[in-house]
Amino acid sequence: LADRLESAWKKLRGQDKISQSNIQDALREVRRALLEADVNLQVVKDFISEVEAKAQGSEVIAGVRPDQQFIKIVYDELVQVMGEENVPLVEVEGETTIVLMAGLQGTGKTTATAKLALHLRKLNRSCLLVATDVYRPAAIDQLITLGKQIDVPVFELGSDADPVEIARQGVERAKAEGVNTVIIDTAGRLQIDADMMAELARIKQTVQPQETLLVVDSMTGQEAANLTRTFHEEIGITGAILTKLDGDSRGGAALSVRQISGAPIKFVGVGEKVEALQPFYPDRMASRILGMGDVLTLVEKAQEEIDLADAEQMQEKILSAKFDFTDFLKQLRLLKNMGSLGGIIKMIPGMNKLSDDQLKHGETQLKRCEAMINSMTRQERRDPDLLASSPSRRRRIATGSGYKEADVSKLVADFQKMRSLMQQMGQGQFGMPGMFGGM
Ligand code: GDP
Ligand code: MG
């Protein structure tokens, strides 16, 4: 029991600061997760070394291991980097807001144009769509069809007109009619090419949009980084829409886009239908990219359950030998609040080796302790020595809790052993100063 209690204690107290050596495995896991999510390699390297430097020396909260806490820090940083809050589409007060769509062919620009219009219409913002893709024969018709579906007008001048001129007239029309937002759909190429960039630049120069949204297919993978860099350098983007997130992609492109351009992802496309557009939520995306939901849940639970001030008081008590059964019970309940012991242990990478029997045993032990402590009087809880010296008190507790007197004696003996061990550790006599210094 002493061993088991001791390890439960280590978990509860938080045992360490984050250092290079205790997060090696976690670092490797995080790197792999990001790469598997198709975050650009260079972005991964930069991001990880930044987070590692930041995390170095952080105190590990009670109930989790340093590597788990590191993963939580990575997650928080991911959320932070991707923008923390959802950033809505710009709206210019009392004027027509101009939105320019940019991106390669097939990424979902035309679809996103219609999706965005539907989204704005639901916010009572009137829209006009402008069709400037004169290169693909069906492109204009596609936008007209989508416009009909959502009951939003489309401005077009056929496929012989100059795209820049179409954009200019479209915006003029929107302004004349007092339309809230005009969205300009543009042509793309399969690869970035100079002509496309030059044309887009001219459109932008001519209409002076408040928003230039880069539409990025989330399946683009590693290439999303280069793509973003080029568009951002040559055109300048104010935001992005990440499409096709309804597929298997883990969405690493979101991090690449944000890291490289600094522009927020504003929406995500989650299907072919016009309704399939959602605001971008950095926390959800961070979970998707990292894919370590279990560990995050563990750390969050620990954070919720543990009141740091309380823990500090507890530490003082331990070090000054004032730690008693009341405190012990509090800690046991903490463990229980955090879910079943088995549940907690299974969330810890590499810890699922424990057999179900062992886990059950651990939980049974915790329950036993709690039952026996519950049968103690206040005085007995405060002063464990009372129990050590009084067989009749131990018998009463055994009867009250339904265990044997020997069980109670063992609990008391173990508790006293543990308490003196902790004091010694606290005084650094075991060569483990800082054992409880994590708080
Ligand atoms: P554009 O060339 O950039 O204008 O791309 P389109 O809007 O024509 O879309 C290309 C293809 O991707 C079409 O078949 C769309 O239905 C599809 N598409 C667009 N957005 C999404 C999305 O979020 N999810 C899925 N599954 N398909 C999408
Ligand atoms: Mg198109």
For ligand 1, the distance from its centroid to the CA atom of residue 11, given in whole angstroms, is 49
Q: Are both 119 and 256 inside the same structural domain?
A: yes
The ligand whose atoms approach the alpha carbon of 114 most closely is: 1
Q: Are both 369 and 255 inside the same structural domain?
A: no
Neighbours of ion ligand 2 (CB under 5 A): 109-110
What is the CATH classification number for the domain harbouring 149? 3.40.50.300
Lowest model confidence (mean pLDDT) among 114-128, 187-201, 348-362, 400-414: 348-362
pLDDT at 268 (0 to 100)? 95
Which residue type occupies 30? V
pTM to 2 decimal places: 0.69
Q: Which of 272, 293, 314 is the last residue of a domain?
A: 293
Q: Are both 317 and 353 inside the same structural domain?
A: yes
**Which has more confidence, 29 or 15?**
29
Closest by CA position to 319, among listed 424, 417, 433, 430: 424
ipTM: 0.99
For ligand 1, the distance from its centroid to the CA atom of residue 101, given in whole angstroms, is 14
Number of domains in the chain: 3
Q: Are both 157 and 68 inside the same structural domain?
A: no
What is the CATH classification number for the domain harbouring 315? 1.10.260.30
Q: Are both 344 and 260 inside the same structural domain?
A: no
Q: Is residue 300 part of a domain?
A: no
Ligand 1 atom 12 nearest Cα = 108
Question: What whole-number percentage of the chain has pLDDT above 90?
Answer: 46
What is the CATH classification number for the domain harbouring 79? 1.20.120
Q: Are both 289 and 324 inside the same structural domain?
A: no
Ligand 1 close to Cβ of residue 272 (< 6 A) = yes
296-317 CB burial, b ≥16 within 10 A, e <16: bebbebbeebbeeeebeebbeb
Provide the residue range defining the domain that includes 399.
Answer: 1-16+306-439
| Helix, strand or coil, per DSSP, at residue 217 | strand
Ligand 1 atom 27 nearest Cα = 272
Q: Is residue 92 part of a domain?
A: no
Q: Are both 335 and 437 inside the same structural domain?
A: yes
For ligand 2, the distance from its centroid to the CA atom of residue 82, given in whole angstroms, is 27
Q: Are both 242 and 325 inside the same structural domain?
A: no
The answer to whether the beta carbons of residues 139 and 187 sit under 8 Å apart is yes
Tens digits of residue pLDDT in 130-154: 999 999 879 999 999 999 999 999 9
The answer to whether the beta carbons of residues 267 and 280 sit under 8 Å apart is yes
Give the integer Cα–Cα distance in Å for 142 and 152: 13
pLDDT at 87 (0 to 100)? 87
Task: State phi, psi for 24 to the nearest 5 degrees.
Answer: -55, -50
Q: Is residue 236 part of a domain?
A: yes
Lowest model confidence (mean pLDDT) among 296-310, 330-344, 355-369: 330-344
Helix or strand holding residue 7 (H, E): helix 2-13
Question: What whole-number percentage of the chain has pLDDT above 70?
Answer: 79
Ligand 1 close to Cβ of residue 131 (< 6 A) = no
Ligand 1 close to Cβ of residue 109 (< 6 A) = yes
For ligand 1, the distance from its centroid to the CA atom of residue 74, given in whole angstroms, is 32
Tens digits of residue pLDDT in 70-98: 888 888 888 888 887 788 999 999 999 99
**185 annotated ligand-binding residue:** yes
Ligand 1 atom 13 nearest Cα = 108
Q: Are both 339 and 231 inside the same structural domain?
A: no
Q: Are both 12 and 69 inside the same structural domain?
A: no
**220 annotated ligand-binding residue:** no
Partners of 131 in the β-ladder? 185
**438 annotated ligand-binding residue:** no
Q: Is residue 298 part of a domain?
A: no
Q: Are both 2 and 33 inside the same structural domain?
A: no
For ligand 1, the distance from its centroid to the CA atom of residue 65, given in whole angstroms, is 43
Ligand 1 close to Cβ of residue 63 (< 6 A) = no
Ligand 1 close to Cβ of residue 251 (< 6 A) = no
Q: Are both 230 and 371 inside the same structural domain?
A: no
Which ligand 1 atom minimizes the distance to the CA of 271? 24
